[in-house]
Structure 1
Amino acid sequence: MAVTGLGLITPAGHDTESICKTMSAGRSLAHKDPGLADLPVDISCSVTGFDPVAELGLRLASRLDRFAHLALVAARHAVLDARLDITSRPERVAVVLGVGANSLETYVKEFTRIAPKGATNVSPLALPRSVPSMVAGEVAMDTGARGPNFTVSSACASGTTAIGVARDLLLSGACDVVLTGGCESGRARAYAACFAQMRALSTRTEHPEQACRPFDTDRDGFVLAEGAAVLVLERADHARSRGAHVQAWLRGYGASADAHHPTSPHPQGRGTEQAIRQALTDAGCSPRDIGHINAHGTATRLGDTAEALALLRVFTGAPPAVTSSKSILGHALGAAGAIEAALTVLALQRQEVAPTANLTQQDTGREMDIVAGGPRPVAFDVALSTSCGFGGQNAALVLAAS
């Protein structure tokens, strides 16, 4: 399937040039977050310079939550980038987005009103603005896409899963084009409190820029983030018929379940390995064809170990050039996989792998070729992007140069 458009709203920027420049610099964007003040972990990676009212207008912006703001603008950018005219056959354009959870900010704000003030004080917009399925509907209303429309949720693999499901829709013939990706604003206080209680977050709050350390021996957890990425995905014949510029090819998709533990990955990374091997088989590739891996790499003790073991088994000896975008952008939860897929497309175009921030020393016996210290020029045609999530959700994509 052809990738013909990209739209990204991330802590690194809102356009591909500024995002690539920031990623190449290799410095974490984590900072003290005033919205998380007084919590055990008060740092995040936030999207800056983003004005939803200016982008969407007051009326639309006021009835939507942050995660939908990000998604709608990313979708607009992607459609513009693809030079896609949805009005010609809107019923053949689908929307499939990944969302890890709902908008906890609105849930907490509205539902805490019930006890002291009564149920009649809850806003009638509380559910429409917050449930995950609504964001796909909002994108459809905003763009005019009238094909299949839904969200998928596979925790922190949601964005990757959505792209895989979108690809399956195209293969089935249900549509010609899909606006697909993921969105999340993980900076809600409830998110921060819950993840801190689970000891999933880095506690290096005095030095936020050093907090997220994927695959480093001194890692202690991830940094919450927000963002959105939307890819325009279409069948090759449709892209050719309208003269679209193909930015990359989605060649393979794999998914699996660890069936192991609610929050911990399989200690040997068996589910991750299974998803990767399925994606490679689906793409008709062997491990030696892969020239770059954008790893899930959250900087949790168990997660990084499991993923490293899986990669080392699939890519016997040593995997190709590996990076973790979360070291710079933080972890945007359900949006992360889509953002990383888009970054993988950009890496293929630029033939350059962005560095992993804060890597000092890898675990002994699990060393991989992790790009660190600065961007690395790499000549490659095929790349892999991996995602994992709570519940043992795993997904992988194989992307190829156009």
Structure 2
Amino acid sequence: MKVVVTGLGVVSSAGIGKASFWDSIREGRSGVKTLEGVDTSRLKTRIAGQVTDFDPSALSYSAARNLDRFTQLALKACEEAVEESGLSGDPGRLGVILGTGVGGIGTIDDQQPALHTHQRGPQILHPLTVPKAMFNAAAGHIAIHYGIRGPNFTVSTACSSGASAIGEAVRLIRHGYADAIIAGGTEAPLSYGMFAAWNAMRVMSVRNDDPAAAVRPFSKDRDGLVLSEGAAIVVLEREDLARKRGAPIYAEVTGYGCSNDGVHPTRPSVDGQVAAIRDALRDAGMSVDEVDYINAHGTATTANDVTETKAIKQVLGDRAAKVPMSSIKSMLGHALGASGAIEFVSSCLSLRDGIVPPTVNLHTPDPDCDLDYVPNEAREMPLNAIMSNTFAFGGCNVILTLRKPENTL
């Protein structure tokens, strides 16, 4: 059974809504800025991919103002995706599967000062702290908003969470458990506690004076990732039902591969990534010669960029040097559990328009990163099949492949 994408929604540091987002990505405009609203005076990193001009009170869901930001971002992206798709059908045959790496961490951080310093302590904690902070809050509220009664769960596989959610949704539809599923990822990790924790790991860029140029995947002078927030939602459906109701179709999701390194919680493994890539290609019935473009994980950390390059070369062999591969994190920053879903949306738009987005800030490639990373400017070219890579702490590797369907938009 074929599964297709009929709606896209995205909220990112580079733009809210897929049109604004895609304009920025195509043109190589960065959404990385000096972080606002968080005291970074004692931190080495003071920049982030922050979503600005977002007003949760404008959401159509009446309860939105009382929710954690990660749920609000998901609702915003979902409104766009569902409206475009025109999703309909038996509520019991519709589902919601989302991914998040840190859930409602903002709510937890907000409550900590009162808990530990106020005279009354626990007695003044907000009574909605648990339902706001729980990881499945976003998926649950989307189901409530749209009256969806089918499968509903949340995936948490760190930075691959959103991609995992899309892959698992495809499996459920293929095997007949649902006709359509709202899937994707959401993350709002820019609270003081979480941002300080990432600073403590010493993996973030310290180019505070030049935020737009801070994220430099595959570059010799890269100095780390930049944390960001955002959400991306896609509507996935059985192809026959989508065509029957005349829904727009962006892509067919052809392959899903997932693996675990089984080696180290934070250090990536070539073998683990290779296994996931091969599983995705096998699931899609796709040869390496059919891959036209790779949307890279590309975090701008030393370990990831080199490992990902090696994995691609091992699977694609001589063809690796001929396949363009770019990282949109160079413009967005790293949105953790939302990143794989955001990159999947970007891949759908690449298929639609025949445009490969650039890896910006790539002027001096790392000698160990010697593939075609589409430096600094987007590239127009025919695209029929794309592979989207997502890797994560905990050794979680997720690969999604998608193909341009017949009679597309």
Q: 2:92 aligns to what?
A: 91
Runs of 4+ in 1 over 3 A off after TM superposition: none
Q: 1:395 aligns to what?
A: 398
Q: 2:188 aligns to what?
A: 185
Q: 1:270 aligns to what?
A: 271
Q: 2:126 aligns to what?
A: 123
Shift of 1:378: 1.3
Q: What letter is aligned with 1:369?
A: D
Shift of 1:237: 1.9
* Contact kept in structure 1, 2:109 and 2:192, CA below 8 Å: no
Deviation string, structure 1 residues 246-301 (Cα, Å, up to 9, x no partner): 111000000000111111112xx211111111000100001110000000000011
Q: 1:315 aligns to what?
A: 316
Q: 1:217 aligns to what?
A: 220
- C-alpha distance in structure 2 between counterparts of 1:73 and 1:29, whole Å: 18
How many residue pairs align between the two structures?
397
* Contact kept in structure 1, 2:17 and 2:77, CA below 8 Å: no
Q: 1:55 aligns to what?
A: 59
- C-alpha distance in structure 2 between counterparts of 1:159 and 1:272, whole Å: 17
Q: Which residue among 5, 11, 14 is the counterpart of 1:12?
A: 14
Q: 2:48 aligns to what?
A: 44
* Contact kept in structure 2, 1:35 and 1:189, CA below 8 Å: no
Q: 1:2 aligns to what?
A: 4
Deviation string, structure 1 residues 208-242 (Cα, Å, up to 9, x no partner): 11110001111111111111111000111221232
* Contact kept in structure 1, 2:350 and 2:383, CA below 8 Å: no
Q: Could you say what secondary structure the match of 1:316 adopts?
A: helix
* Contact kept in structure 1, 2:9 and 2:77, CA below 8 Å: yes
Q: What letter is aligned with 2:184?
A: G
Q: What letter is aligned with 1:105?
A: G
* Contact kept in structure 2, 1:76 and 1:143, CA below 8 Å: no
Q: 1:256 aligns to what?
A: 259
Q: What letter is aligned with 2:82?
A: V
Q: Which residue among 377, 380, 398 is the counterpart of 2:380?
A: 377
2:309 aligned with 1:305: no
Shift of 1:199: 1.0
The farther-off stretch of 302-311 and 232-241 is 232-241
Q: What letter is aligned with 1:84?
A: L
Shift of 1:365: 4.4
* Contact kept in structure 1, 2:306 and 2:368, CA below 8 Å: no
After superposition, residues 324-363 of structure 1 pair within 5 angstroms as 324-363=327-366
Q: Could you say what secondary structure the match of 1:9 adopts?
A: strand
Q: What letter is aligned with 2:30?
A: S
2:142 aligned with 1:139: yes
> For residues 362 and 6 of structure 1, do their structure 2 counterparts lie closer, same or farther at Cα, with a shift above 3 Å needed?
same
Shift of 1:24: 1.5
> For residues 234 and 211 of structure 1, do their structure 2 counterparts lie closer, same or farther at Cα, with a shift above 3 Å needed?
same
* Contact kept in structure 1, 2:219 and 2:362, CA below 8 Å: yes
- C-alpha distance in structure 2 between counterparts of 1:384 and 1:30, whole Å: 25
Q: 1:152 aligns to what?
A: 155
- C-alpha distance in structure 1 between counterparts of 2:207 and 2:37, whole Å: 17
Shift of 1:186: 2.2
What CA RMSD, in Å, does the superposition of the two structures yield over aligned residues?
Answer: 1.3
Q: What letter is aligned with 1:190?
A: G
Q: Could you say what secondary structure the match of 1:358 adopts?
A: coil
Q: 1:174 aligns to what?
A: 177
2:231 aligned with 1:247: no
* Contact kept in structure 2, 1:40 and 1:193, CA below 8 Å: no
TM-score, normalised with respect to structure 2 = 0.94
TM-score, normalised with respect to structure 1 = 0.96
Shift of 1:9: 1.1
2:167 aligned with 1:164: yes
- C-alpha distance in structure 2 between counterparts of 1:90 and 1:139, whole Å: 13
* Contact kept in structure 1, 2:59 and 2:75, CA below 8 Å: no
> For residues 244 and 56 of structure 1, do their structure 2 counterparts lie closer, same or farther at Cα, with a shift above 3 Å needed?
closer
* Contact kept in structure 2, 1:72 and 1:142, CA below 8 Å: no
- C-alpha distance in structure 2 between counterparts of 1:279 and 1:14, whole Å: 30
Q: 2:280 aligns to what?
A: 279
* Contact kept in structure 2, 1:312 and 1:366, CA below 8 Å: no
Q: Could you say what secondary structure the match of 1:50 adopts?
A: coil
- C-alpha distance in structure 1 between counterparts of 2:21 and 2:276, whole Å: 28
Shift of 1:398: 0.4
Q: Which residue among 216, 237, 258 is the counterpart of 1:234?
A: 237
